[in-house]
Amino acid sequence: MAISDKDFELLRDFIYNLCGMYFHSTKKYFLESRLTKRMEATGTKSAMDYYTLLKSPRGGEELRFLLDEVTTNETYFFRCVPQLNAIETKFLPEIVESKGKMGFRKLRIWSAASSSGEEAYTLAMMLLEKRATLLKDWIIEIVGTDINETVISQAKEGVYNSYSVRNVPELYKRKYFREEGGKFILSPDVKKFVTFNKLNLYDDTKMVFMKSFDFIFCANVLIYFDLAAKSKVVQHFYNNLQPYGYFFVGQSESLHGVNDKFKTVHFPGGFGYKK
Amino acid sequence: MDRQVMMETARQMVATIDDLPTIPAVATQVLQLLNSPDVNVDEVADLMLTDQVMTARVMKMVNSPVYRPSQEITSLKRALVYLGLRHIKEVALTSSFINAFEDKGGVLEVGPCWEHAFGVGMVAKVIAEKIHYNDLEKAYIGGVIHDIGEVVLSYYRSAEFAAVLEQTRQRPVNLVDVEMATFGTTHAEIGYCIAEKWNFPEAYREAILFHHDPRGASSDPVLCSIINLADLFCSVRELNYGGRSWVSFNLVEEDGWQILKEQFPSLAQLDVERFCYELDDAVPDVKELVSSIFSRQ
């Protein structure tokens, strides 16, 4: 169902203000198709009816369903290329230099909503490529956490379908995957750098132990939290990040109004946060 | 860096260019006319109509999505009324500047180059609006012309400039540092010298000279800061000369941001993330404007 530009802007602003996810105008068709599904499920007749539903007391619950629709299939290898480029071009060399000067030769990375592991393993492959040069003799620790045990076992297993690996550069695909019966099996050389654990980001007692990370990633999760919960979790990320470290959210997410300590660092095609 | 030495080097470089384009006579006359106190739209329209190329450009710019008229404007006079007398200057200057360098070729591709120029103009205007800067057209024009020094380098020193760009493509080095090492001056000083030759008002010359160093500005540091930030934002979104240089910046550390925040504390509340996303959304409009300006119809 097509929605007018005006209704699109109304919904986009409402969703953005509520959860911090921005729908670019290029994503209008995408939002339309997902909205259509939710409108069928809720029996709403028009975009305006659906908007009214979102604003009603039942709106919070409905927004979760809508977010599920829009974030589904969002997990794949090499998902956010601008972020990866920025890490490779600038942020990683910068951190290696700062830490190297202090005599630390250990890099710690946290994929804080690791799902089936694609993000954590993407980083592992990228860093593995630097083992002979920039990261020679460095210890690499990558931690993936998720609240859902099913996806954690999938991550540990490291077997993927062609959709997940569609963005993997050919060189990486040949080097780090073995194809078998239409499945892509990740090499143990990559798996050994990553550990996966169950973690509820809302669990303060466990969050305080996630210490001293150089990079933290948390995509498509904070949008589900209300402002208070979001602020609390982001404060944990802030505390758990090294002074020179970087924190990244999803490609269309925003932390505006959530935490006034993090500073935005801009790079081609995206931005991250720094202390 | 000694600014005076850099300026002298730039002046010498510009002096050696013997086929430097000149600003069209009609544009100069339009600018003079706009400065007279009792100017009216009919007079300006009559004068502009003597230059068909300028008239065609003005019509295309007015009908572009960046200006968004509610219905297509088909006469020059209506276009000028729609723009308002204050804005005629911006289109006249911009149009002359485009004419001067059209078909020149050079290292920078015409499309991405003008997309950056108009993008910076548009973003500068948006920032100027947000801080209630008193002259939005000045911010817009300043944005459009801020990199004229690069256009000159791209055309008249193409081999060396291509090597400079190659060095900045993949690595986080500053373009001005590489230019300095290669030419002993940068596109900012060269742009200033061109603007001087073209008799651009002092405010624009200063904006060109200090768009990478707004702290250096003395007469209008706010304008230089607006253009500095607009340039930075365009350089990290899709209005970046087609990915010409690898740029990254920490907003709170930027002089332009600090200068604007000192004067307009409310800017601290700006939703920077949304600002970037909205900028992405405006990219197709800017591309459409540029392609319409350069289309032959």
> Confidence class of residue A275 from pLDDT cuts 50, 70 and 90?
very high
- Cα gap A79→A167, rounded to integer Å: 7
User: How far does CA B63 lie from the centroid of its chain?
Assistant: 20
**Segment A174-196 mean pLDDT:** 97
Using a CB–CB cutoff of 8 Å, tell me whether A86 touches chain B: yes
Q: Residue B277: its chain A contacts at CB < 8 A?
A: 22, 24, 252, 254
Q: Chain A: give the shortest CA distance to residue B13, in Å.
A: 32
Residue of A nearest to B242 (CA): A268
> Confidence class of residue A43 from pLDDT cuts 50, 70 and 90?
very high
> Confidence class of residue B297 from pLDDT cuts 50, 70 and 90?
low
Q: Chain A: give the shortest CA distance to residue B104, in Å.
A: 28
pLDDT at A71: 84
Q: What is the pLDDT of residues A186-241, one digit of tens each?
A: 999 999 999 999 999 999 999 989 999 999 999 999 999 999 999 999 999 999 99
- Cα gap B8→A36, rounded to integer Å: 64
Q: Could you tell me the strand order of the sheet in which A159-160 lies?
A: A159-160, A183-186, A177-180
CB B60 within 8 A of CB B74: no
- B249 and A263: CB-CB below 8 Å? no
**Segment B5-33 mean pLDDT:** 87
- B273 and A274: CB-CB below 8 Å? no
Q: What is the pLDDT of residues A120-168, one digit of tens each?
A: 999 999 999 999 999 999 999 999 999 999 999 999 999 999 999 999 9
Q: Which has the closest alpha carbon to B45: B88, B87, B74?
A: B88
Domain with CATH 1.10.3210.10 in chain B: 3-13+104-293
> Confidence class of residue B122 from pLDDT cuts 50, 70 and 90?
very high
Q: Residue A86: its chain B contacts at CB < 8 A?
A: 248
Identity at B41, one-letter amino acid code: V
pLDDT at B296: 59
> How much of chain A, in percent, has pLDDT values that exceed 90?
91
- Cα gap B239→B230, rounded to integer Å: 10
**Segment B87-115 mean pLDDT:** 80
- B250 and A269: CB-CB below 8 Å? no
The three-point CA angle B209-B4-B230 to 5° equals 15
Residue A266 CA neighbour count, 13 Å, CB half? 24
Which range of B145-154, B184-193, B283-292 scores highest in mean pLDDT? It is: B184-193
Using a CB–CB cutoff of 8 Å, tell me whether A271 touches chain B: yes
* Nearest CB partner across the interface for A267, out of B236, B252, B280: B236
Q: How far is CA A74 from CA A71, A164, A251, B105, in A?
A: 5, 9, 11, 42
Structural domains in chain A, sorted by start: 5-71 (no CATH), 81-274 (3.40.50.150)
- A–B CB contacts, 8 A cutoff, strictly below: 70
For residue B69, give the DSSP letter.
-
User: How far does CA A115 lie from the centroid of its chain?
Assistant: 9
**Segment B88-108 mean pLDDT:** 78
pLDDT at B169: 84
- Cα gap B282→B123, rounded to integer Å: 10
Q: Chain B: give the shortest CA distance to residue A21, in Å.
A: 9
Give the fold, CATH level 3, of B3-13+104-293: Hypothetical protein af1432 (1.10.3210)
What pTM did the predictor assign? 0.92
Helix (H, G, I), strand (E, B) or coil at A17: helix
Q: Chain A: give the shortest CA distance to residue B227, in Å.
A: 17
CB A164 within 8 A of CB A74: no
Residue of A nearest to B276 (CA): A270
Measured from the Cβ of residue A111, the count of other Cβ atoms closer than 10 Å reads 28
- B271 and A254: CB-CB below 8 Å? yes
Q: Quote the tokens at residue B70.
A: 């509610």
Longest dimension (CA), chain B: 54
Length of chain A: 275
Measured from the Cβ of residue B111, the count of other Cβ atoms closer than 10 Å reads 14
CB B169 within 8 A of CB B243: yes
Q: Residue A26: its chain B contacts at CB < 8 A?
A: 280-281
Q: Which residues of B touch A (CB under 8 A)?
A: 170-172, 232-233, 235-238, 240, 243, 246-252, 271-274, 276-277, 280-281, 284
Contacting residues for B51 by C-beta, under 8 A, at least 6 apart: B24, B26, B27
CB A129 within 8 A of CB A234: no
Whole-angstrom Cα Rg for chain A: 20
Q: How buried is B38 (Cβ within 10 angstroms: 0-12 exposed, 13-18 middle, 19+ buried)?
A: exposed
Contacting residues for A194 by C-beta, under 8 A, at least 6 apart: A117, A120, A121, A124, A142, A143, A144, A155
Q: Chain A: give the shortest CA distance to residue B34, in Å.
A: 38
Residue of B nearest to A94 (CA): B172
Identity at A155, one-letter amino acid code: A
pLDDT at B102: 74
- Cα gap A230→A147, rounded to integer Å: 16
- A268 and B171: CB-CB below 8 Å? no
Residue where the block lists tokens 């802030």: A238
- Cα gap A270→B280, rounded to integer Å: 10
Helix (H, G, I), strand (E, B) or coil at B71: coil
Res B270 pLDDT > 70 = yes
Res B79 pLDDT > 60 = yes
Q: How buried is A147 (Cβ within 10 angstroms: 0-12 exposed, 13-18 middle, 19+ buried)?
A: middle
Using a CB–CB cutoff of 8 Å, tell me whether A265 touches chain B: yes
Q: What is the pLDDT of residues B125-167, one digit of tens each?
A: 999 999 999 988 889 889 999 999 998 899 899 999 999 999 9
Of B25 and B103, the one with more pLDDT: B25
Of B242 and A67, the one with more pLDDT: A67
- B273 and A268: CB-CB below 8 Å? no
Q: Which helix (H) or strand (E) holds A85?
A: helix A81-86
> Confidence class of residue B1 from pLDDT cuts 50, 70 and 90?
low
